[in-house]
Structure 1
Amino acid sequence: MESLNVTEFLYEHLNEFTNGFSEENFVSNFQFGKVYRGKMPPGIYGKEAKDVMVKIWDASNNRLYRVYHPVENRVRLAEEVVLLKHRTMNSHPNLVKLVGFCWQNDKLGAVYDLDPLHTLRDLIPKGCFDWLKRMKVAVEFARVLAFFHAPKKCFLPYGPYLIRNVDATHIMLDKDYNTKLFDFSMVSGGMFPDRNKVRLHALRGYTSGCIGYVDTCFAYTGGWCEKNDVYAFGVILVGLIAKRVFNTDTDMDTNIPFVDDWALSLYEKQPKFSLIDKGLAWVSSVYKKKQSKFSLVDQSLEADPAFNSSDGHKLTKLAMWCLKYFPRDRPTMKQVIKCLLDLHVVKIHASTLGLNTKLDHAFSVV
């Protein structure tokens, strides 16, 4: 597929699409700004009428200044346009499709061909977000990360990418609950400069991921790798199965723990064992069985007709694997996909979930 042609809009167009960036059309904050629903009328630069999503980079966003040092958003917009126009990206079903952008003085924005439902962060606690929909998101988002982490041969002449700001807020779902990753403000690698080495003394002066999704090990090493994205996926997975989310808009000044801290604290309370001698082998067996039954799945989801208890244990084990302290101990995203495709719910409901298990299994072992 050829590179996508996109339109450069005026800021007044974005204002028109969103009815003056009205509260009614506001969807969510994201790491560097705000997202709105919009309607693009016919005739603008020959475009057809369509529902769109509008993203605005906003340096005055309160969420930005709580932790992050503001940096040049123009670079973020320019790189996103280049990324989403590229032939390797514009055909991926779980990445937003770029319609156009705005670069008018300090007013920066992007327009996507998407009629958004809600962000994953907003949907995670809701009862209408059932087990099948949650599993659909887990598999689709795992495929997105595996796609970006793919070997160099998949992106020739470029190498793999890191997202680095994985966050449930940056995953939008459409009206059919299809997963759409829509922010790439911290992408590194591939056709862009390698920003994966960060000096420890400089961490406070640079954006270092999203609150609640950055692993503790990174804070000590200051070096990015694909396993940082894997850790963030683990946080997403815990949120999906436990109906938990840390909302940086409302929870920053409370005692609500981060999702990973909550999950790890529960896991640490599980019985531990060590083999002192062969005479205690039976104790090891008992504790292993107890650990294998450990589940973080919310009770309301356990009552879902599509839920299988064995999946709850497997997903909890997978999430804990992703949340391992040392990056080398975490799985790759290909291994994550393989685990997800072995779930009972995926095998039974593959067609309902819109999954090609044969294709995905083949991809997971490439």
Structure 2
Amino acid sequence: MSSDGRVPNDGVCTQKQEEEEQFLRMLKSLGCESYMYHKDMIMEHRCPEAVYNRIGDVIEMFRQNGFQFLSLSVFTFSLVMFLRLGYPIIKPMDVGAVKHYSYSEMKEITESFNKSNFICKTMSNHGKLFKGTIKNGSKPQDVIVKTWDFVYPPMWACYHHTHRIHDELLFLRDPGINSHPNVVNVIGFHCDERLAVIYEGIRLKCILKELLLSDDFQWENRLKVAIDIASLLMTFHRNGHVHGGVMSDCIMLDEELCPITFNFRLYYYNVNKKKCFGPYTVMNNSPDQPDQADDEVPRWCMGDDVFAYGILLLELITKRKGSSFSYRDWLHVQPKFVVHESFDVKRDIASEITDLAYWCLKLEKQPSLEHVIGTLKKCACTTAMKKQKC
């Protein structure tokens, strides 16, 4: 799988595969302007009148040049078509086993993106997560829909949304990644009128951050979540990818409290001060040259993943959200025990896990993920043996 959207093939590419490759390349370079004036986006704006007033100014400009429109809504449609003329127009198609759904199908799946199906906002508020149902005859399929949303006036992040969906379609088809049990399985997408992907149904319980303070979220389950996430990170890093979404508000829990990750930063990364490029889009803050790497722009690297994991581990063992404590103060004071008092944990285990979390926060010399997993499994085993004796 290459950075230009190519999917590896041992034999001669079929016409379908060539079409898919071309489609992905065009999707990556698709301008975001044609999404800005979508009717649904305008109506979701905090002040739709402001958008229509702006459109009204453009109407007058067009009329002065001989264009006539029956109504504002007709003009809005015409403006969208006009904007699309200046940017690549692509015909939606399935990509391998990942099906392209029409906008009417997306609205049916999410009940028109109904608020009752809203789960949470995605990382950096780029979009939203919705519950949905694909009605396959007598066997409806529960799914999760993730959107990338556009705002008006546009923010710089909007210019990268087509890159993000392109990267994710490639990323989640990588056998080294999608085989992991804690990664979402993408089964569909939409890129015609809005940008969205569809994940295979998850028996969703909640977002992890919603359970952090709960007494029902017991010590053994917290350790299991911590081990699963560390294992996930190790898989990412071994396959040459940075995760970038190891945060309690970016992880879903299913009904069996199994963590499922759905947010990723598909950036380039640094190893031993040597810049390394993953097989996906390199992003910076320039909408004009989104594929140009900038040494001055800080990037998320593998060490940052481990640091974020340290924060997550602290949240799990302290029953506190990261926003409620200062890890900098804790690093300075270095308390020996931060495990919440409600957990029946031996002092040596509490001390070992506390030290492990602090170690992850030390960017200059962090533990390996193999060591993290080994330590947590040993602590989990000790806890289980203690319960058996009781």
Shorter-chain TM-score bucket reads: 0.5 to 0.7
Deviation for aligned residue 1:108: 2.9
In structure 2, distance between residues paired with 1:86 and 1:269: 43
* TM-score of the aligned structures, taking structure 2 as reference length: 0.63
Q: Does 1:184 align with 2:264?
A: yes
Range moving further from structure 2, 223-232 or 174-183: 223-232
In structure 1, distance between residues paired with 2:96 and 2:370: 28
- What does residue 175 of structure 1 align with? 255
In structure 1, distance between residues paired with 2:139 and 2:216: 33
- What does residue 266 of structure 1 align with? 330
Instruction: Give the partner amino acid of 1:340.
Output: L
- What does residue 310 of structure 1 align with? 348
SS of corresponding position for 2:244 = coil
Superposition CA RMSD, Å = 3.4
- What does residue 223 of structure 2 align with? 135
Q: Deviations over 1:191-228 (max 9, x none)?
A: 22566xx7xxx69x999xxxxxxxxxxxx983543101
In structure 2, distance between residues paired with 1:337 and 1:97: 24
- Percent identity, aligned pairs only? 26
- Tell whether the 8 Å contact from 1:165 to 1:186 is kept in structure 2 after alignment: no
In structure 2, distance between residues paired with 1:239 and 1:76: 29
The 1:223–1:60 alpha-carbon spacing in structure 2 relative to 1, beyond 3 Å, is closer
- What does residue 41 of structure 1 align with? 135
Structure 2 gaps, min length 5? 1-8, 10-94, 269-276, 291-295
**Structure of higher CA gyration radius:** 2
In structure 1, distance between residues paired with 2:210 and 2:151: 22
- Tell whether the 8 Å contact from 1:139 to 1:340 is kept in structure 2 after alignment: yes
Residue of 51, 59, 69 corresponding to 2:150: 59
- What does residue 295 of structure 1 align with? 337
In structure 2, distance between residues paired with 1:107 and 1:193: 17
In structure 2, distance between residues paired with 1:206 and 1:316: 43
- Tell whether the 8 Å contact from 2:144 to 2:200 is kept in structure 1 after alignment: yes
SS of corresponding position for 2:191 = strand
Q: Does 1:231 align with 2:307?
A: yes
- What does residue 72 of structure 2 align with? none
SS of corresponding position for 2:209 = helix
Q: Does 1:241 align with 2:317?
A: yes
Q: Any residues of structure 2 matched to 1:53-202 within 5 Å, and which?
A: 53-60=144-151, 69-150=157-238, 155=239, 160-188=240-268, 189-193=277-281
- Tell whether the 8 Å contact from 1:89 to 1:95 is kept in structure 2 after alignment: yes
Residue of 364, 381, 389 corresponding to 1:346: 381
Q: Deviations over 1:305-336 (max 9, x none)?
A: xx333222111111100111xx2311222222
Instruction: State the aligned residue count.
Output: 278
Q: Deviations over 1:248-286 (max 9, x none)?
A: xxxxxxxxxx46x6233134235xxxxxxxxxxxxxxxx
* TM-score of the aligned structures, taking structure 1 as reference length: 0.67
Structure 1 gaps, min length 5? 208-219, 247-257, 271-290, 353-366
Instruction: Give the partner amino acid of 1:173.
Output: L
In structure 2, distance between residues paired with 1:310 and 1:206: 52
- What does residue 100 of structure 2 align with? 8
The 1:30–1:147 alpha-carbon spacing in structure 2 relative to 1, beyond 3 Å, is same
Range moving further from structure 2, 31-40 or 226-235: 31-40
